[in-house]
Structure 1
Amino acid sequence: MSHSDHSVEASTTSPLPEGIVHSSANRWLLLDANRWLVAGLFVAVAFAAFLVSGLSGLVDPGSDDPATLLLSVLISGNLTLVPITITINQLVLSREFGKPHELRGRDEGIRQLRDDLKTQADIGLIPPQPSAFVRTLVETLRAGADAVAEAAADTGDPDLARRGDLLRDEVVESTEGVLREVDASEFGSYDLLAALMRVNSAWLVETVQYLEHDCGEGAPDEPFDRLQETLRLFNVTRQYAKTLYGQKEIATLSRLLLYVGFVAVLAASLVMLGYAGPVEESLSDVETALGFALLGALVFSPLAFLLSYMLRLSTLMSYPPLRNSFITDG
């Protein structure tokens, strides 16, 4: 590909590259759907599987031997949630603990990031709220794209001017979602993170480099350099938002596993202890199968929440792959 052939027309504003999310159904399941809803779907599948097995005779829920064996296995499985939850919490706490020089380094990094944006935006002060920081960053990004488009137009070359306009349009279009979410969602939320990931900043950096090369001495270097630096600041901010989102989701998941796991183990234990009692003998086959399915779904619910949350986390953390040699959009 020659320099002149490279333009933003080849870029994409898809929040995740093809190969990670293959269809809208996959995207809904892995990313966009409410995690409680996805967990509910898994629980419903477990309920249906237990119910069909009981009604079809594949499993005899009225027989205490296979039922108590299954319940004991499920209880043992749920008890393993304790070490899993401890491990998950260690991942979160490991980022919160640190020696004084490490904590100071983190604070210095945040301060440096704010100072860099203040320099790029050419303003005296950036409000402390994360939403205001993101808004300022996006506005600076758009202003930088305008400056690059003007520099390309000033060369007098119609093709360079067109590519500059395409670059500006790409920046404006891909950041619309960020401006919509920045006030509606807190920093570190999935909705804002998804909007940030729609900005294909790595491809934009490369596009700016090609455009600057083709403009040659016909345009000043300053607007191109400023836009590239702002895009790099955007990458850092997005990765930080991804980190905060991951920490929050892991902490939420660990609490859910403890709450739901406690209820599931308690219910399964009580049912197993009294399974062959008079209550079970007074139930019809359909009622026994229904009760067995409800209990099975309840015992499987911790695993459903684990699957629901980890599917989204693992998908997001696997983004992005290399877009091209030595350039990532992360």
Structure 2
Amino acid sequence: MSADADTPSDRMSDRVAGSRLKQWLLLEADRWLVTGLLLGGVFCVLVGVGTLTPGGAAAVRSGDPVETLFQGLLTATITGVTLVLTLNQLVLSQELGAVGDQRERMDGAMTFRDDVATEIGTAVSPARPAQFLRALVDVAGKRAGALRDAVSDTPDPELQTAITELTDSLTDNADRVSVSLDGAQFGSFDVVSAALNFNYSWKIFAARRINERYDDSLDADASDALDELIGVLKLFGPAREHFKTLYFQWDLINLSRQILAVSVPALLVSAVMIAFFDVADYAGTLAGIDIVVVAVAAATTLALLPFMLLIAYVMRIATVTKHTLSIGPFILRDTDDVNEVEWD
């Protein structure tokens, strides 16, 4: 087994490039907060450009730039509502199907739940997603402890070191993730966030590598303990992907509803600016800034609300999807933790 330097971090934020602030904005931050920050940036940029650009305010007051701008935004908002309908169709397409297809889905779900129940030693597997994942994580931690005990008397020091590194990493990771899942409610990002921080794929790879390298040194009890550990880790992968998919559907439904709601005021703002706004009615300055620049910037920011909200949601969905493309022990990205992994 390689040294700890070859082991990637358990936390997803540590395994991917970018600062903690960037990862927080992409993943953990409330989507309305991200939307507000994006809108604030748009407003500041528009006011700054209108103020600092020579003749910026005069350009707004001359010709019909305001009407042209908001005609484009009005059309774009209507197009955005059509996009929302497409998103809804995407979600609904996963739920529509003949009774045979629905029964097949039901059978698959029940079979998987029965497999998990057998693996974790209960009559019925938990119903709530957070409890379901927590049960798998807790059992993985217990089996890591059982594996460590099973090789406590091995005469092979390399095997002892390899098992210790794997089990210590796994139990620490399982304890942290279990605490994060305690009380987490599906629908928030907490469940998916905690699941992403359980680096099951690397642990499967490390366990299988131990099994391959030290097969001759493992007695029957240790070999069984290692197989049982790999078994529960292999069940965590599809469970995480299933709940991740459900969360994406949940998020897209919320996004659709919210965009439909904010599209109404955005349309009204664009319509008012086209029909009733007259730059001649706005004279003077506000805090040293031409008031017409502030008014147009504020109206433009409000008209862009549906698009900023869409960007905020899609950023998180795309980020999670990018870093969970593979199920199982594959490394699809370069990390600072793992430069090269030797199998032989």
Q: Tell me the TM-score normalized by structure 1.
A: 0.89
User: Cα distance, 1:155 vs. partner?
Assistant: 2.4
Determine if contact 1:114/1:126 at 8 Å carries over to the other structure. yes
1:13 corresponds to 2:17: no
Mapped partners of 2:125, 2:43: distance in 1: 53
1:291 corresponds to 2:295: yes
Determine if contact 2:145/2:171 at 8 Å carries over to the other structure. no
Q: Specify the alignment match of 1:52 in structure 2.
A: 48
1:106 corresponds to 2:109: no
Determine if contact 1:16/1:319 at 8 Å carries over to the other structure. no
Residues 21 and 249 of structure 1: CA distance in aligned 2, closer, same or farther (over 3 Å): farther
Mapped partners of 1:79, 1:202: distance in 2: 43
Secondary structure of the 2:64 match is helix
Secondary structure of the 2:324 match is coil
User: Cα distance, 1:12 vs. partner?
Assistant: 2.1
Q: Tell me the TM-score normalized by structure 2.
A: 0.85
Q: Spell out, residue by residue over 1:68-102, the C-alpha distance to the aligned partner (whole angstroms, 9 max, x if none).
A: 11111111111111221011111111112121122
Q: Which amino acid aligns with 1:15?
A: M
Mapped partners of 2:216, 2:299: distance in 1: 71
User: Cα distance, 1:282 vs. partner?
Assistant: 5.1
1:243 corresponds to 2:232: no
Q: 1:253 aligns with which of 252, 255, 271?
A: 255
Mapped partners of 1:14, 1:232: distance in 2: 19
Mapped partners of 1:123, 1:322: distance in 2: 29
1:200 corresponds to 2:202: no
Determine if contact 1:202/1:328 at 8 Å carries over to the other structure. yes
Q: Which amino acid aligns with 2:321?
A: M
Q: Specify the alignment match of 1:320 in structure 2.
A: 324
User: Cα distance, 1:35 vs. partner?
Assistant: 1.2
Q: Spell out, residue by residue over 1:196-227, the C-alpha distance to the aligned partner (whole angstroms, 9 max, x if none).
A: 11121111111111222314253223212111
Mapped partners of 1:132, 1:90: distance in 2: 30
Residues 117 and 195 of structure 1: CA distance in aligned 2, closer, same or farther (over 3 Å): same
Residues 246 and 113 of structure 1: CA distance in aligned 2, closer, same or farther (over 3 Å): same
Mapped partners of 1:322, 1:124: distance in 2: 31
Determine if contact 1:320/1:328 at 8 Å carries over to the other structure. no
Which is helix-richer, 1 or 2?
A: 1
* Residue correspondences, number: 322
User: Cα distance, 1:252 vs. partner?
Assistant: 1.2
Q: 1:28 aligns with which of 9, 24, 27?
A: 24
Q: Which amino acid aligns with 1:39?
A: T
Q: Specify the alignment match of 1:124 in structure 2.
A: 123
Q: Specify the alignment match of 2:310 in structure 1.
A: 306
Mapped partners of 2:187, 2:109: distance in 1: 15
User: Cα distance, 1:64 vs. partner?
Assistant: 5.6
Secondary structure of the 1:153 match is coil
- Match runs of 1:59-138 below 5 Å: 59=57, 60-63=59-62, 65-138=64-137
User: Cα distance, 1:165 vs. partner?
Assistant: 2.1
Determine if contact 2:181/2:190 at 8 Å carries over to the other structure. no
- Worse-matched range after superposition: 38-47 or 283-292: 283-292
- Worse-matched range after superposition: 160-169 or 252-261: 160-169
Q: Percent identity?
A: 27
Mapped partners of 1:68, 1:172: distance in 2: 62
Mapped partners of 1:276, 1:7: distance in 2: 67
Residues 34 and 321 of structure 1: CA distance in aligned 2, closer, same or farther (over 3 Å): same
User: Cα distance, 1:17 vs. partner?
Assistant: 6.9
Residues 329 and 180 of structure 1: CA distance in aligned 2, closer, same or farther (over 3 Å): farther
Mapped partners of 2:278, 2:128: distance in 1: 60
- Worse-matched range after superposition: 232-241 or 93-102: 93-102
Determine if contact 1:149/1:168 at 8 Å carries over to the other structure. yes
Q: Spell out, residue by residue over 1:174-214, the C-alpha distance to the aligned partner (whole angstroms, 9 max, x if none).
A: 22332223233213532221211112111111111122231
